[in-house]
């Protein structure tokens, strides 16, 4: 019989309440029981963690990250995948979506094989939930830090080849106004791949049509997208407005306190609600690293960027080049800057992203039968323990 893991003296964060002096019993990588600490009978064979009255929450789920700890997934090496996963695990992330950048098809194909190998070898880092392809089907005007030389329209002969090359793709971000994008979204929907609006100049009417075609999520809201614009003197609402007008559209925000100021963090929270908002890092290799020059994308084909002011920027400072945030920072920012409650902030980092990716039957909340992916942290969201499948993979 496998040993049980028992976490005692914790403040367990459920979706709607916090339970004081609580104990969590896990077995075979699953959550088995929730009790008060006083009710728990500990056996000599049990592994016991004393949370010392700190918070116990579901593991953080990051559905958009490009890397961390000096590694980028576009490096296309197992070392990069594992290094980034281990870095993010130190900050409370238990599951993530490795995310690509605009690139050649050859680069994408190369990283697919590396991903499969990394999944097999990943024992010390946040687990991989599947691949998120960001691009290369983007608007030139909204490209941000995406390399413009790789931008193109989606064509069946290319995207079908990419889809055939990997069964690990679970999310694809693109601009819905491009020629062929709506047809592509229908293909993604058939394959249960999340189609997400990103780096786009679409107007509201185009977003509405895209939503019907299968675009149900918006990548890093406010970053790389249209808002109110004029065409032939007439005003049109953009993607930002569509995010609020379409009730069932989910969004993600880079809540690092830099990409979005306090006012916009509060605005999104007030009008979309925690059930429709996922916090994401959109982190590049500089996450968990000191300030200075870095590279966005692969080491051999990426762009030089500078890390300063808590964010990565293009060298000419004309645009951000991805964040250097970790998931603990996102939660902390929502609480300390946006004034959102701990419960609601945790939900946007756990249950909502799990629901968006349709894995909430296994992850995202502390419930009997779900994976024992857990994080213990103090009042300041400093991570003390990170556990995956009931095993400690990081401790402070």
Q: How sure is the predictor about 10, in pLDDT bands with cuts at 50, 70 and 90? A: very high
| Arithmetic mean of pLDDT, 308-316 | 92
Strand extents, DSSP E, 135-281: 169-174, 194-197, 215-218, 229-231, 234-236, 250-253, 277-279
| Arithmetic mean of pLDDT, 377-391 | 98
Strand, coil or helix: what is 154? coil
Q: In this predicted model, what pLDDT tens digit does every residue of 134-176 receive, in sequence order?
A: 999 998 888 877 778 888 999 999 999 999 999 999 999 999 9
**Strand pairing class (383-388; 391-395):** antiparallel
Q: In this predicted model, what pLDDT tens digit does every residue of 212-251 receive, in sequence order?
A: 999 999 999 999 999 999 989 999 999 999 999 999 999 9
The whole-angstrom separation of Cα 332 and Cα 385 is 17
> Looking at 44-58, 236-250, 293-307, which range is the least confident one?
293-307
Which run of H or of E encompasses 9?
Answer: strand 5-13
Q: In this predicted model, what pLDDT tens digit does every residue of 326-353 receive, in sequence order?
A: 999 999 999 999 999 999 999 999 999 9
What's the pLDDT at 190? 97
The fraction of the chain above a pLDDT of 90, given in percent, is 90
Q: In this predicted model, what pLDDT tens digit does every residue of 169-217 receive, in sequence order?
A: 999 999 999 999 999 999 999 999 999 999 999 999 999 999 999 999 9
- Paired with 67 in beta bridges are 72
Between residues 150 and 80, which one has the greater pLDDT?
80
Distances (CA, A) of 77 to 73, 237, 272: 8, 42, 38
Distances (CA, A) of 158 to 103, 164, 296, 356: 13, 10, 24, 27
What DSSP character marks residue 99?
B
pTM of the entire structure?
0.97
- Paired with 293 in beta bridges are 306
Q: In this predicted model, what pLDDT tens digit does every residue of 99-133 receive, in sequence order?
A: 998 888 988 999 999 999 999 999 999 999 999 99
For 310, the token pair is 């808590």
Please, what is the average pLDDT of the chain? 96
What string of DSSP letters covers 347-392?
HHHTHHHHHHTT-TTTSSS--TTSB--EEEE-TT--EEEEEETTEE
Q: Is 271 exposed, middle or buried (0-12, 13-18, 19+ CB in 10 A)?
A: exposed
Alpha helix positions (H), 98-173: 105-121, 156-165
Distances (CA, A) of 59 to 10, 16, 54, 85, 276: 15, 16, 15, 14, 19
Strands across the sheet with 93-98, in order?
Answer: 60-65, 93-98, 127-128
What's the pLDDT at 209? 98
Q: Is the pLDDT of residue 374 over 80?
A: yes
Q: Is the pLDDT of residue 1 over 60?
A: no
């Amino acid at each position: 019989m496998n040993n049980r893991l028992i976490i005692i003296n914790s403040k367990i964060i459920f979706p709607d309440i916090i339970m004081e002096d609580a104990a969590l019993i896990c077995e075979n990588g699953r959550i088995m029981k929730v009790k008060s600490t006083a009710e728990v009978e500990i056996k000599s064979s049990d592994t016991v963690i004393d949370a010392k009255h700190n918070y116990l929450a579901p593991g953080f789920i990051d559905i958009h990250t490009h890397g961390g700890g000096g590694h980028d997934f576009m490096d296309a090496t197992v070392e990069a995948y594992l290094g980034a996963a281990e870095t993010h695990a130190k900050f409370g992330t238990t599951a993530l979506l490795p995310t690509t950048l605009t690139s050649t098809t050859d680069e994408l194909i190369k990283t697919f094989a590396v991903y499969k190998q990394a999944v097999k070898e990943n024992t010390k880092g946040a687990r991989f939930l599947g691949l998120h392809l960001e691009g290369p089907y983007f608007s030139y005007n909204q490209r941000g830090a995406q390399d413009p030389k790789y931008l193109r329209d989606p064509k069946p002969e290319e995207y079908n080849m990419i889809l055939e090359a990997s069964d690990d793709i679970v999310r694809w971000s693109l601009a819905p106004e491009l020629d062929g994008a709506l047809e592509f979204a229908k293909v993604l929907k058939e394959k249960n791949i999340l189609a997400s609006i990103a780096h786009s100049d679409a107007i509201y009417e185009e977003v509405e049509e895209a939503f019907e075609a299968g675009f149900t999520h918006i990548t890093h809201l406010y970053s790389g997208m249209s808002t109110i614009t004029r065409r032939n003197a007439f005003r049109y609402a953009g993607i930002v407005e569509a995010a609020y007008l379409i009730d069932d559209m989910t969004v993600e925000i880079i809540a690092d306190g830099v990409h979005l100021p306090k006012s916009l963090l509060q605005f999104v929270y007030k009008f979309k609600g925690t059930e429709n908002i996922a916090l994401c890092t959109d982190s590049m290799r500089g996450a968990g690293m000191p300030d200075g020059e870095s590279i966005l994308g692969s080491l051999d084909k990426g762009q030089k960027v500078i890390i300063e002011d808590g964010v990565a920027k293009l060298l000419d400072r004309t645009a951000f080049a991805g964040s250097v945030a970790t998931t603990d920072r996102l939660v902390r920012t929502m609480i300390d800057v946006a004034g959102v409650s701990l419960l609601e902030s945790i939900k946007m980092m756990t249950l909502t992203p799990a629901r968006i990716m349709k894995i909430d039957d296994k992850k995202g909340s502390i419930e009997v039968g779900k994976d024992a992916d857990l994080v213990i942290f103090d009042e300041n969201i400093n991570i003390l323990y990170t556990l995956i499948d009931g095993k400690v993979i990081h401790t402070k």
